[in-house]
Structure 1
Amino acid sequence: MRGTAVVVGGGIGGLAAALGLRRVGWDVTVLERSEVPDDAGAAISLAANGLRALDELGAGEAVRAASHGQYRGGTRRPDGRWLARMDGAALERAVGSPIVGIARAELHRLLRAALPAESLLIGVRALTIDQDRPGQNEPAQDGPGQNGPGQNEPAQDGPGQVRVGCSDGTRYADLVVAADGVGSRLRGLLLPEHPGAVATGAAVLRAITDQPVALDGEFELTWGRGAEFGHIVLPDGRAEWHAVLPLPPGTRFADPLAELRSRFGGWHEPIPELLAATPPDAVLHHDLRELRTPLPTFTVGRVALLGDAAHAMTPHLGQGACQALEDAVTLAAAVAGAPDLPSALSRYDAVRRPRAQAVARAARQAGRMGPGLSHPLAVAVRNTAMPLMPPGPTLRAILRHHVWEPPTLDRTPPRPGESATQLA
């Protein structure tokens, strides 16, 4: 089955969805509301399941080349004593890949580069969505947003097409992918009874150092009372660090770096060194939100919700982007293998919703039992118990989320006028 798709959202999930759908022969237009692509987020870790998804999308080799493997590290106390060690080599032997770190801007660039430039429309917002009125006989939007073979041909808007009202006109598609993030506008339109994303009561501040930093390992987390500081190493020797703090939503600091020095300056090295290697204007501050109430469905009519729009989760397992990548591959495989779109979307929902929501629950629980603990007695029990845990169960707990076999995306022949490398 082939058709036309509009993907709302040009983040990791939306770009991945576009790659997957194009790989199985669909015409895809991506709408990104930002005038400048938003690559905020400093850096990201990708586990084996995310890398396997990228392999199916044709971007795995490029992403691996731009990443740095996380082989040595673990979790510490603020005084530097180890709570748990991470053996990246053992993880690689078990699942075929270590966790890798990559700058988010570089990951976005690689995903965008794999798409034809004309398929990504910047500065275009999706405002409305109409599945009840197919708009028969209405002319399609002329110009670069046109779906289908001709700029001035009427939309093929039979009873199954969706009409998307955009900031620059109207577009029609057989399938719409809502990949517009944790605050998804489309999710609110499609599922108005759902409470939407809620604040977790924490915020994350993060940055990339402006120079290489000499570090003993590639990955560390440090858990204090209700707070976390972590870092990963990037291929050029710079480090991305993040600090998670319990903060009311909307809290902002006049000097974020000074605030972090006051809170973490007494923690073990290299934390003070990482802060010292960071320019004050490089610090990003985001309130953390999640879909605490699971969605009843990941599909509504001919719309599929994907990534944070479908299952925004806390960051404590590092699985948010990986689950979005799984979504993208699963959706593409479903539409490629089903006789019609309703069957494909039913398959996508049945496969993705149980797994993604289970990972979201596990991430929430990991946060509560790890850096979310603030009572001194609870922290003392955690700090005593963690070093006594044998490595086997710890590794199996990680593997539970990293093990995933993607469906195979059979590449379709290039369309007329299209080079084979655009689908590679």
Structure 2
Amino acid sequence: MRDAGGSAVVVGGGIGGLAAAVGLRLIGWRVTVVERAATLADVGAGISLHVNGLRALDALGVGAAVRAAARPQYTGGTRTPKGAWLARMDGAALERELGTPIVGIPRAELHRLLRAALPPDRLLVGAEVTSVGHTTPDRLTVTVPDGVLEADLVVAADGVNSRLRARLFPHHPGPVYSGSTVLRAITEHPVDLDSDFEITWGGGAEFGHIAFTDGRAEWHAVLNSPPGVRHTDALAAMRHRFADWHHPVPELLDATRPDAVLHHDIHELATPLPSFTTGRIALLGDAAHAMTPNLGQGACQALEDAVTLTAALATEPTVAAALARYDAERRPRSQSVARAARRAGRMGQQLRHPLATSLRDTAMRLAPSGATLRAILRHADWTPPALG
């Protein structure tokens, strides 16, 4: 709102929720972040941030700190299990085109930098929101174990399994299993790598890595799998599955502690939501548009959400007008990116039949040299709205 800011409760302390809180504080709002986990997401592996995510972080005032902690991705691309290149990534060309390359950073470090932009007393950790109601049509109440918070706005950033989304849209089918599961970890010590970022596609499998500034790396393995399958020794299972894949796949696995491996099934909102807002509640990030990770855009879209919501609240005359603008600007774009990510998975990691994978690989090898750059630009070339 153009005059004095209001008060907001952000439900969920992930990347999107923290970014929204940072943005709202920038425009003078009083914000409380409520996170039901005992700690604020100091877990996870690594993340690649495309230029749209970095521009969003710049708008929030934390872009410089993130860049300083991240490693630019100038070299890498897509390979076959035997190591042949299908497509090369030219980070320098991307930097010339958009002013920055993609960067890689541990998720925990990104969370720490976002938290550092908020007063500690604005983070309510280990608390679950049990209900959201109204005291007046323009005033919300958020019930937590220790009492009731009042706010002009609630931001539902509580993830793919959002409880608030389920309450707001009881007839929506909710998240569905994508058909793929992901195992990932950060290596215990530095690894000798030839590139900053790689993915390798085999039949029904992908293995990739993101290099960090300290020489360590994040690796991920995405596999076609029924949901709920787990391994007694996940690291041993990955060593067996990728034993004959090219360098540095075995070396990355050998540099990993068994207890560092995370394993999650990948769920998405395959049925798009009809709206990202209900009354004075706005859905953001995975709660609004959970997508598969095939384009590396999940966190970047959440950061875009945060900046767009902040800008709308800063410049529109009422909360209602701001939320209408937020929905109109964010829903078409984020849902389009989610569809593109789903298609990318089906044509990439999820392809299993040898003939299909051979045709895909041939098409990638024959693609013009700038095809990879254009594919990245299609989703990453986004300009943040002004915050005032």
Q: TM-score, normalised by structure 2?
A: 0.98
- Indicate whether 1:92 and 2:75 are aligned: no
Q: Secondary structure at 1:79's aligned position in 2?
A: coil
2-side partners of 1:168 and 1:264: how far apart? 49
Aligned residue pairs total 385
Equivalent position to 1:364, from 303, 321, 342 = 342
- Indicate whether 1:123 and 2:126 are aligned: yes
2-side partners of 1:391 and 1:409: how far apart? 37
Give the equivalent residue in structure 2 for 1:419.
none
- Indicate whether 1:387 and 2:365 are aligned: yes
- Indicate whether 1:188 and 2:166 are aligned: yes
Shift in Å, 1:40? 2.6
Shift in Å, 1:39? 2.8
Equivalent position to 1:222, from 200, 215, 219 = 200
1:265 is aligned with what amino acid? A
2-side partners of 1:88 and 1:80: how far apart? 20
Give the equivalent residue in structure 2 for 1:287.
265
Give the equivalent residue in structure 1 for 2:354.
376
1:330-349 to structure 2, matched below 5 A, reads 330-349=308-327
Q: Secondary structure at 1:205's aligned position in 2?
A: strand
CA contact (8 A) 2:89 2:372 kept: no
- Indicate whether 1:235 and 2:213 are aligned: yes
1:22-33 to structure 2, matched below 5 A, reads 22-33=25-36
Q: Secondary structure at 1:304's aligned position in 2?
A: strand
- Indicate whether 1:175 and 2:153 are aligned: yes
Please list the CA deviations of residues 255-294 of structure 1 after superposition, one character each: whole Å capped at 9, or x if unmatched.
Answer: 0000001100110110000000101111000110000000
2:295 is aligned with what amino acid? L
Deviates more, 1:308-317 or 1:390-399: 390-399
Equivalent position to 1:43, from 43, 46, 49 = 46
1:21-420 to structure 2, matched below 5 A, reads 21-130=24-133, 134-135=134-135, 158-410=136-388
2-side partners of 1:387 and 1:54: how far apart? 35
1:111 is aligned with what amino acid? L
Equivalent position to 2:12, from 9, 24, 37 = 9
1:56 is aligned with what amino acid? A
The percent identity for this pair of structures is 68
2:132 is aligned with what amino acid? I
2-side partners of 1:24 and 1:400: how far apart? 30
1-side partners of 2:59 and 2:41: how far apart? 25
| C-alpha RMSD of matched pairs (Å) | 0.9
Structure 2 residues without counterparts, runs of 5 or longer: none
Please list the CA deviations of residues 229-248 of structure 1 after superposition, one character each: whole Å capped at 9, or x if unmatched.
Answer: 00010000001100001122
Please list the CA deviations of residues 357-399 of structure 1 after superposition, one character each: whole Å capped at 9, or x if unmatched.
Answer: 0000000000111111001110110111111100223321210
Shift in Å, 1:120? 0.6
Q: Secondary structure at 2:18's aligned position in 1?
A: helix
Give the equivalent residue in structure 2 for 1:155.
none
CA contact (8 A) 1:162 1:174 kept: yes
Q: Secondary structure at 1:201's aligned position in 2?
A: strand
Please list the CA deviations of residues 137-172 of structure 1 after superposition, one character each: whole Å capped at 9, or x if unmatched.
Answer: xxxxxxxxxxxxxxxxxxxxx430112222322211
Shift in Å, 1:9? 0.2
Give the equivalent residue in structure 1 for 2:22.
19
